[in-house]
Each structure stands twice: as structure tokens, then as C-alpha cells.
Chains A and B, each alone.
Chain A
Amino acid sequence: MSAVIATRGLVKRYGSLRAVDGIDLDVRAGDVYGFLGANGSGKTTTVRMLLGLVLPTSGGIEVLGARMPRAGRRVLPRVGALIEGPAHYGHLSGRENLALLDASGPGGSWRTRQRRIAEVLEQVGLGGVGRRPVKAYSLGMRQRLGLAGALLRRPELLVLDEPTNGLDPQGISEIRELLLELNRTGTTVFLSSHLLAEVEQLCTRVGVLDRGQLVLQEEMARLTAPTGATVVQTPTPDRVRSALDGRVTSVDGERVIVRGDDPAEVNRLLVGAGISVTGLALQRPTLEEVVLAAAGTSTDRVESSR
């Protein structure tokens, strides 16, 4: 697996504030990488450094195997980006906006432009949008148009910052399907988000940023791997405790955690003891639990220093 994004000791300092404090990202070809972090944890600054918009204070960035920002002209045409919400020229139509964006950089042939624009508009569900100006679009439509702009040159890497912002639930699931489809055909997706559910449903790898530091970077499957315990739902937790003598690690209302990674065996024991069981499952940590354990408090909070 080759690295699509690799950073080494990436630092961005604004005065005395270290917005990004020495992170080593490792995004591999074929990943759907979820870049998680609270507001103000440095996600956006990192994304902007990857795209050459913000210049790092120190450290190195490689995108698609070339040094950024130096190789931007070569690398960025192969990257599609959605950065902190879409932005367009409100008085022009969506089609015209895409054409202007495509014409303002290398790697987008004008011969294929109209065809590519029609294709991506179809892909993001704006095929029949016509000539109305973007200022008449809804927030969701603008988001879709932004995504269309990112897809215009069939990029190898998609860098998306909060791509489902402003979309309704149907829109979110539609975009999720689209991203998964693109990923199946070989596009690596780097998805920056603070929506845990979105990342949990979509991503194969996760990086968690907290106060500018990468506190966690791991395969999703490994993070939410079974813990070796079984969760039992029962109206009579006390009887479970006595029946399974010593294997119960915690009781929370009707929810009992039992050591042992074979729910069938636990079930047999409980049924044998005549205990009614309403639910039974392997214990898996949710992404939320993992992230909260790795990251500290919200960076929006400003504690008094007293």
C-alpha cells in the first residue's frame, strides 16, 4: 500500500498558538480516511496545508508521492477538494461556475469540459438544474455543486471537509453512496468531519486530532473490534451475577457485561439457570467511546484560569 498523504512532524504555529503540533498523517491508497476532531482542533488548518493554501511552519507534506506545496502544480490537478463549505460566483449558473473553475488551472482539457460537467452534475444529482444562478440554489444544492467541482477531473484523491453539511438525510445517504462507489473504483477519500456517525458508516481508517496533535490513527475495524466481553440485556441483572459467578464485570441498569467472547455459551448458561434474556451481543466499543477516550474535552470550552 503506497502512501497517498504522508506528513512528517507537521507544525503550524500562529504566534504562540500551535494550531497543528507535529502530526504524522498516513493515508494509504484505497482508504476512506476519517479525519476526526473537535472544532478548533486543527483539522481545517491541516487540510489547508495539504492543499498548499496554508504554508507549514515546519515539517514535510507528501501528497500523491510529491512534496507539497512545491509540487502543487503537478499534484493538485489530481486532487479534488471541498474546503470548509462550497463557494461559487452567485450570479453565474452552476454549469458556468464549474467551467470557470476547470479553466483556471492545468489538467482540465476544454475539449472534454462540457461532457465532464454534465457527467458530474448528473453524479451529484444536479443533472436537471438548468441555467438558474447559484444564488438561487439551496444550501444542499450548493454543497452538491461543490462536490461536483471536486469530482470534475476524476481525481485520485478526494479531500473533503464536512461534505454533508447542509444536506437533508436523503442527501447524506446519497452522497455516502456516491463516495463509497468512487472509493470502489479506486479513489482515495480523505474525509474531515466532526460527525462521528458519518465517519463510522463510511471510513476504513480513522485519525483523531486533539489540540493540534494526532492522538489516534488506526484501522476502523481494529478500533471497534470486539473487546472479548458479551453484553447481556436482562430484567434480572442480580440473578445473572449469581448464576455466572465472578464473570460479570459491570452492571448498568438492565445491561450486564460478562467476560467471554462467545455469546452462545453465555446464553446457554443463562437459559439453563432459568434467567430471561432480552438481548445478547458481543461487546464492541463505539467510535464515540474510542474518540472520547483518546481526545480530551471540547476545545470550544474556555475554562477560567483561576
Chain B
Amino acid sequence: MIAVELRKLFRRPRTWATIAVLNALPILVAVLLVLTDLAPRPGQGPVFLSAVFVNPALFALAALAIVLPLFLPIAVAVVAGDAVAGEAQAGTLRYLLARPAGRTRLLVAKLVAVLVFVLITVLIVAAVGYLVGTTLITPRPGLGNGGTSVSGTSLTQQELVERALLAIGYVAISMLGVAAFGLFFSTLTDSPLGATMGALAVLVASSLLFTLDAASPIAPYLPTRYWLSFVDFFRDPILWRDITRGMALQGVYVGVLLGAAWANFTTKDITS
């Protein structure tokens, strides 16, 4: 069943188009950087972007930081929102369930497919970022090779690779909450667009509340609260506090929303 869902997802031209679009923005940023030679000062602009002239390989992480606030969640919301509602709209949901695919099994398979999509997308963005960074950007000798950690100390190449992998994993986990929202809304409606918009509305609301001082009591529970904590992997030593909180928070969201999605989907009349 999971294999079937993966085949469906990755044989769809739209899936690859989404990933391609997702990579377009970091590539554009890289080209502009090279053409204008204007890197943001440390502490300004997207994270890591100031460091890419020291170590072009860091553009992999800069690319993630560029797509993380908006592009990546949109892509995940589109795929997750489409998961069940898309089948309902196409009418294939009734055939799947009469086959019978089993409602719980279908939901689990959809979830796994979305997770695989998230992971593959994040990896591709990082990989393309790495390639683009190392081919387009030439390091400036004057800046030295130090300062690759956010704290200012030097990280060895091996440390850097390990931490980059951890960061990629963390970004993928951060997207789980979006996926869970999308999947939950997807079981509520027969319109994939509605489900996607619902998930995005939650994210926009969360980002907005995060900037509002009056909302500070609920800030630690907002789904987007710890998204950018992947930067903490590049502090020396790694600052685990926000990272673990972020993972726990995503875990709670995923658990609750999937429970709700399951409860709704398994007792729902399929009239599409």
C-alpha cells in the first residue's frame, strides 16, 4: 500500500514540478549573489547566507533557510492537502476504499508518502544548494576559513557534514506539523485546495502570532515557533534546548492531528 502511494506521488508530474520550483529560488539567490557580489552582513538576511563566501558548501544550508519560511511549507501543504481530498475529488477514493484499501491503512500510507516527499524534497534542496554553491561561488581568501559555526569558532569538515545532516533531519521533522495539518484538513473536505489553504492559514496565523508580544503566552506552542532552530546545530557546542522542544512540539501536533484525522476518516461517509 505504501509502495502504491509512493508510486502515485512520484509518478505525478506535479510532484516534480513542485520540487523544481522549490529549487528555483535558492538558485536565483545564488546567481544574484555571484553577479552582484553583495553578501548580506553576518546577522542579516537569511541564515548562513553571509557565510557562503567563506565556505560555499554552506549554501546547502542557506538554501534550506531560504525555502523554509514559506516555500517548503507551501509545497508540503499542497501535497498533504491533496492526499485524501485529491482522491475524493477525482473519485478514486471510493474505488480505493471499495477495493478495499482499508481506511486506516490508506491514511497511514498517505502519511508515509507525504513524509517521504518531505525528506526527498529537503534532501534535493540541500543537494542542489550544495552543487550551486560549490560551482557558482568562489570563496574569498581574505575572509579566512574560520567562522563557520554561528558562534564564531571553526568546525572541521567532518563536524560540518554531520551537523548539516542533523539540520536536514530537523527541517524535515519541522515539516511534519504542516503535513499533519494538511492531512487532517484533507480528511475533512473533498476539495484539495481547501485542505491546502487550511494548512497554510494555520501557518500564516502561527507566524503572525509569533511576532505579536500579546501572544507571547502561547508562543511556545505555535507550530512554527522552533522552525529556525536548526541553526542551533551550528553553534559550538550544539544548543539542544530549542531543538528538542521543537521536535517534541511537532510530535504533539502530529499525534493529535493524526488522531483526529483517523477518527474522522474512519467514521466518515464517503459520498464523493
Q: Within 8 Å of chain B (Cβ to Cβ): is A83?
A: yes
CA distance A87 to B99 in the complex (A): 13
Does B94 contact A53, Cβ atoms closer than 8 Å? Answer: yes
Does B95 contact A83, Cβ atoms closer than 8 Å? Answer: yes
0/1 interface trace, chain B 249-272, chain A, CB 8 Å (1 if under): 000000000000000000101110
Does B100 contact A54, Cβ atoms closer than 8 Å? Answer: no
Which residues of chain B are within 8 angstroms of A105 by Cβ–Cβ distance?
96, 99-102
Given A85-B91, A103-B3, A103-B4, does the pair A48, B96 have CB atoms closer than 8 Å? no
Q: Within 8 Å of chain A (Cβ to Cβ): is B8?
A: yes
Which residues of chain B are within 8 angstroms of A91 by Cβ–Cβ distance?
11-13
Q: Within 8 Å of chain A (Cβ to Cβ): is B7?
A: yes
Given A73-B102, A85-B91, A91-B12, does the pair A101, B271 have CB atoms closer than 8 Å? no
Given A48-B270, A89-B90, does the pair A81, B98 have CB atoms closer than 8 Å? yes
Q: Within 8 Å of chain A (Cβ to Cβ): is B92?
A: yes
Partner of A54, one of B95, B99, B270: B270
Closest chain B residue to A159 by CB distance?
Answer: B98
Partner of B98, one of A53, A85, A92, A96: A53
Which residues of chain B are within 8 angstroms of A207 by Cβ–Cβ distance?
none
CA distance A52 to B103 in the complex (A): 11
Given A104-B99, A105-B101, does the pair A53, B269 have CB atoms closer than 8 Å? yes
CA distance A90 to B91 in the complex (A): 11
Does B269 contact A104, Cβ atoms closer than 8 Å? Answer: no
Given A54-B270, A55-B267, A103-B3, does the pair A89, B8 have CB atoms closer than 8 Å? yes
Which residues of chain B are within 8 angstroms of A96 by Cβ–Cβ distance?
11
| Distance of B158 from chain A, by nearest CB (Å) | 43
Interface residues in A38-78 (C-beta closer than 8 Å to B):
48, 51-55, 72-73, 76-77
How many A residues are at the interface, by size bracket? 20 to 34
| Distance of A72 from chain B, by nearest CB (Å) | 5
Does B94 contact A87, Cβ atoms closer than 8 Å? Answer: yes
| Distance of B267 from chain A, by nearest CB (Å) | 7
Partner of A87, one of B4, B8, B95, B102: B95
Interface residues in B1-59 (C-beta closer than 8 Å to A):
1, 3-4, 7-8, 11-13
Closest chain A residue to B269 by CB distance?
Answer: A54
Which residues of chain A are within 8 angstroms of B270 by Cβ–Cβ distance?
48, 53-54
Pick the most buried of B8, B98, B269: most chain A CB atoms within 10 A of its CB: B98
Task: Spell out B's residues near A (CB within 8 Å).
Answer: 1, 3-4, 7-8, 11-13, 90-92, 94-102, 106, 267, 269-271
8 sampled A-B residue pairs with Cβ under 8 A: A48-B94, A52-B97, A53-B270, A54-B271, A73-B102, A76-B99, A81-B98, A87-B92
Task: Spell out A's residues near B (CB within 8 Å).
Answer: 48, 51-55, 72-73, 76-77, 79, 81, 83-92, 96, 100-101, 103-106, 149
